[in-house]
Amino acid sequence: MQQSGQNLRLAIQKDGRLTQPTLDLLRAVGLEFETYRARLFAACRNFELELLYVRDDDISEYVAEGVVDLGIVGQNLVVESGFDVCELLPLRFGYCSLVVAVPKDSTIQRVEELRGAKIATSYPQSAGRYFSSHGVEVSLIPVSGSVELAPALGVASGIVELTATGSTLRINDLRAIDTVLTSQAAVIANPAALERLEKRRKIDRLLMRLRAALVARDYKYVMMNVPKAALRQVEEVAHGMKSPTIVELADPNWVAVHTAVREEFFWEVIEKLRDAGASEILVSPIEKMIV
C-alpha cells in the first residue's frame, strides 16, 4: 500500500477494546467521519485525515513502515513489536498490565522460582526480555489466544498475559506474582513523517486538538452564587486555571463565580464551597480546554 496525497493517515483498531474509546476521543475533538467498519478506510470531512481500521497487532508495523503516519495502539504492542515508532501522546484509556501469573494454589511467590518452567504467552518478546533481565531461564510457549487456560491444560506452569482488573486471572484460578510492564493507549508516529514539515504541521494540529480534549476531561466547569462576604474563602478553594471569573449581580451582596474544578478533587471542592456559603452551584462538562 502506498501513501498517497497530502492527508494524514491514522491507523486505529477495527474491532476491540480500544475501538470505542478511540472513536469517542476523535469525535470529542470534532472530527467527522464514517464508522462503517466493514470499510477499511474513512476520510474525515473536516480535517486532512484518513482513518484506517485494522487489527491492533498490525498498527505498529504499518506506522513503522510508513503505510500510515500515525496509529493509536496499546503501548504493550509497541514494546512487543519492537518497531521503530515515536510515541507522541499517551491517551489515558486502555490501561492494562502485562503480568506473570501462576495457579492460585501454587506455592510460587517469586519469579525466580519459575526457573526452568514452561511459560505460555502471546507476548514472547516482552516476556523473554523480562525473564532474561531477572536472570531466570524459562521455556516460553507462544500461544495466540486463551493464554489463561494453559496452566489448567497442563501446557505451562505459568503465563505472561495482559490484565486490567485481574478478573480474568481470578476466574481462571490464577494469581499475578509480578508486573512485566504497564500500558495505556497512545498515539504513535512514523519517525520520517515527523521530519517532513507539511506532515509535521498537520500532526501538531491534530495533537493540539487531542490534548485539548484530554485535558478537558480532567475538569468540570462550575458556576455558583456567592455572598460577597464569602468571596475570599471561595476564591481560595476554587482558584480555577488562573483565578476564577467573578461577575457582579443585580443584588449588591452577591456575585456569581465561574471556575474550573479538577475532577479528581471535585466533591471535596464542592463540599468546601457549600461550607463557605456558595449556593445554586451549577456544574457542566468542559468539551475542550486549550492550555
Q: Which residues bind Zn ion (CB under 5 A)?
A: 56-57
Q: Which is nearer to ligand ATP, 127 or 270 (CB)?
A: 127
Name which of ligand ATP, Zn ion, none residue 17 binds, using a CB cut-off of 5 to 8 Å depending on partner kind. Answer: ligand ATP
Residue window 83-112: x/- pattern of binding to ligand ATP, with contact defined by CB under 6 A: -----------x-x----------------
What does each C-alpha distance from 48 to 10, 142, 185, 269 come to in angstroms? 11, 40, 23, 41
With 0-12 / 13-18 / 19 or more C-beta atoms within 10 angstroms meaning exposed / middle / buried, residue 265 is exposed
Q: Which is nearer to ligand ATP, 54 or 189 (CB)?
A: 54
Give residues 163-182 in contact with ligand ATP (rule: CB under 6 A). Answer: 163-164
183 part of the interface to ligand ATP, by CB under 6 A: yes
Question: What is the smallest separation between the CB atom of 216 and ligand ATP, expressed in angstroms?
Answer: 23
Give residues 224-263 in contact with ligand ATP (rule: CB under 6 A). Answer: none
SS (HEC) of 96-140: EEEEEEEECCCCCCCHHHHCCCEEEECCHHHHHHHHHHCCCCCEE
Q: Which is nearer to Zn ion, 56 or 148 (CB)?
A: 56
Give the cell for residue 225: 452564587
Question: What is the smallest separation between the CB atom of 16 and Zn ion, expressed in angstroms?
Answer: 7
Strands 158-163 and 118-121: parallel
Residue window 40-59: x/- pattern of binding to ligand ATP, with contact defined by CB under 6 A: ---------------xxx--
Query: How many residues can be counted in the chain?
Result: 291
Q: What angle do CA 38, 43, 47 make, to 5 degrees?
A: 150
Q: Which is nearer to ligand ATP, 70 or 261 (CB)?
A: 70
Question: Which amino acid is located at 113 in the chain?
Answer: E
| Backbone region of residue 146 per phi and psi (left: phi > 0; alpha: psi in -120 to 50; beta: other values) | left
Strands 49-54 and 41-43: antiparallel
Q: Which is nearer to ligand ATP, 182 or 245 (CB)?
A: 182
Q: Which is nearer to Zn ion, 44 or 52 (CB)?
A: 52
77 part of the interface to ligand ATP, by CB under 6 A: yes
Name which of Zn ion, ligand ATP, none residue 127 binds, using a CB cut-off of 5 to 8 Å depending on partner kind. Answer: none
Output the CA torsion sign for 161, 166, 170, 175: positive
Q: Which is nearer to ligand ATP, 162 or 224 (CB)?
A: 162
Give residues 4-43 in contact with ligand ATP (rule: CB under 6 A). Answer: 13, 16-18
Binding site for ligand ATP (CB under 6 A): 13, 16-18, 55-57, 74, 76-77, 94, 96, 162-164, 183
